[in-house]
Amino acid sequence: MNLTLPNGFPIPTPGFGTYKTPDGEVCVNAVREAIAVGYTHIDTAALYGNECSVGEGVRQSGKPREELFITSKVWNTERGYDKTLRACEKSLKDLGMDYLDLYLIHWPANTKQFGDRADAINVDTWRAMERLVEEKMVRTIGLSNFYSSHMAPVLAAANIAPAVDQIEYHPGLMQEDTVVACRENGLLVEAWSPLGRARLLDNPVILDIASRHGKSAAQVILRWVIQNGVLPLVKSVHAERIHENFDLFGFALDDDEMCAMSALPEARFGSHPDTVEF
């Protein structure tokens, strides 16, 4: 299934994530298996340290590059105009690819670390992202972990508007203010850690709903994400789970089930963009 980005490009859902997938054979095999199952959207990042293996998995899959959607991200140490340009060049070299379908600023510079310089750093980084589109190294550009406060200066300065914001999103952390800001400004929301780093898989509310549908807890959570209009990025290195997490379109959750999952107590499993120090 494809969604459509603001620039008209299709983006497949669900996406296959590779965070904490170790570089080497494990990553190569996971990417190759995911593509064999039917995933065509592969998400990586410079931070993950596995871009070389992601690229090798793509090549071993035999799938033509133009039939895949590949995302990477510029890491925090490489913010700023010149460093962002060089970071993208390195990611492309490591992936063995000529272009990326989507390139994201991995985390916003925040005021905790950078004081009143934070907005200028984010805008300067965004200028480089736009240059990458102009140079045809990247087809689409976006953000990751940006709240509306981080997003607003970028939107005000942008010649090319961000197409995506990738945030922690799952039952218990819907980040409604950020989702509303994204939708008001035309950004697609992507969900990282949609399974709550596996901590939601034994939740009794979710397990009860899963039993009614004859599905796993993971499938029910991912279906909830999709029905909320958010694109989930799901990661596994196990073939059975890679298959299972792709099988999301043969059932639907009803309104009561959606509401029950949306009402789960708040729980954040990742870092907060305003307090990170990395």
Q: Does 264 fall in a domain?
A: no
Q: What average pLDDT does the segment 126-139 reach?
A: 98
Q: Does 155 fall in a domain?
A: yes
Give the per-residue pLDDT at 39. 98
pTM of this structure = 0.96
Number of domain units in the chain = 1
Q: Is the pLDDT of residue 140 over 90?
A: yes
User: Predicted confidence band at 235 (pLDDT cuts at 50, 70, 90)?
Assistant: very high
Residues 202-225 pLDDT 10s: 999 999 999 999 999 999 999 999
Residues 142-201 pLDDT 10s: 999 999 999 999 999 999 999 999 999 999 999 999 999 999 999 999 999 999 999 999
User: Predicted confidence band at 6 (pLDDT cuts at 50, 70, 90)?
Assistant: confident
Angle, alpha carbons 51-56-58 (nearest 5°): 95
Give the per-residue pLDDT at 110. 97
103 counts as catalytic: no
**Burial of 243: CB neighbours in 10 Å, binned 0-12, 13-18, 19+:** middle
Angle, alpha carbons 10-230-91 (nearest 5°): 60
Q: CB under 8 Å to 255, separation ≥6 — which residues?
A: none
Give the per-residue pLDDT at 16. 98
Give the per-residue pLDDT at 256. 98
Query: Residue 17: helix, strand or coil by DSSP?
Result: strand
Residues 9-60 pLDDT 10s: 999 999 999 999 999 999 999 999 999 999 999 999 999 999 999 999 999 9
Percent of the chain with pLDDT over 90: 99
First to last CA, the chain: 35
Taken as a whole, the chain contains a residue count of: 278
Give the per-residue pLDDT at 157. 97
Domain that holds residue 34: 10-198+231-247
Q: Does 46 fall in a domain?
A: yes
Give the per-residue pLDDT at 61. 97
Q: Does 187 fall in a domain?
A: yes
* CATH number of the domain enclosing 44: 3.20.20.100
Q: CB under 8 Å to 168, separation ≥6 — which residues?
A: 145, 175, 191, 192, 193, 268, 269, 270
Catalytic residue among 48, 103, 147, 169: 48
Chain-wide mean pLDDT for the chain? 97
Greatest alpha-carbon span in the chain:
53
**CA separation for the pair 130, 99 (Å, rounded):** 14
Give the per-residue pLDDT at 7. 87
Q: Does 258 fall in a domain?
A: no
Q: Does 2 fall in a domain?
A: no
Q: Does 90 fall in a domain?
A: yes
CB 96 within 8 A of CB 143: no
Q: Does 84 fall in a domain?
A: yes
